Structure 1
Amino acid sequence: MGVFAVAVGRISDVAQGIGSREIASPRKSEKSFSELVGGFLKEVNALQKEADQAIQDVVLGKEENLHQAVIALEKANLALELTVQVRNKVVEAYQEIMRMQV
């Protein structure tokens, strides 16, 4: 859930900046875009590993609660889908910028 909360927070920050039409200089404490994306990818990877471990525990009989494994798997799936959609939008925006005539 951390990925979604951070993403929503960043989107609302951007929306507020757009609404006020101000261009703010980046603060020293803020992460760069690459650090932010790297953090998101690490969280998605952690969710994938958590889901794999939950499934393995159910298969080996260490965990009897199948619901928790399914929930972990679905969280990982949703995080991966979100990551793919964000990547698609970034690629689409890059292509649109490249089509612009100067």
Structure 2
Amino acid sequence: MRIEPIKLMPVGSRISMDEVAKVADTEKTFGQFLADALNDVNELQKNSNKASIDLAAGRVEDVSQVMIAAEKANVALQLTMQVRNKIVDAYQEVMRMQV
């Protein structure tokens, strides 16, 4: 007797299992998602630095755009650090568990 796996479809969905498989194959891994997020934060930091240099050189007329870029970079960096702290805390908690 052979047991076949159950094929689940979302209720009311009109997509086929082949389409679901294609989406599952193209999804990012956690590592790729994390790398992309860190690259985005790095780009915000670079943009902020460039805007500050342009302001100091007198190439920027709108100071508010420089401040917005700096705050975006600051908020993104703070969020990244908080996520890192939560990951480290979770890792430490797992290491304290007794097996």
Q: TM-score range by the shorter chain?
A: 0.7 to 0.9
Instruction: Summarize deviations over 1:23-46 as a string: whole Å, max 9, x none.
Output: xxxx32211111111000000000
The share of aligned pairs that are identical, in percent, is: 51
| SS of residue paired to 2:26 | coil
2:89 paired with 1:55: no
Deviation of residue 64 (structure 1)?
1.3
For 1:2-21, list aligned pairs within 5 A.
Answer: none
Task: Give 1:72's aligned residue.
Answer: 69
Number of aligned positions between the proteins: 76
Query: Any idea what the Cα deviations from partners look like across 1:9-36, whole Å, max 9, x if unmatched?
Result: xxxxxxxxxxxxxxxxxx3221111111
Higher helix proportion: 1
TM-score where L is the length of structure 2? 0.74
- Provide the C-alpha distance between the structure 2 equivalents of 1:30 and 1:85, rounded to a whole number of angstroms: 25
User: What do you get for the CA RMSD once the two structures are aligned?
Assistant: 0.7
Which segments of structure 1 move beyond 6 Å, counting only runs of 4 or more? none
Establish whether residue 37 from structure 1 lines up as the match of residue 70 from structure 2: no
Q: Structure 1-normalised TM-score?
A: 0.72
Name stretches of at least 5 consecutive residues in structure 1 with no aligned partner. 1-26
1:82 deviates by 0.2
Structure 2: stretches of 5+ with no match in the other structure: 1-23
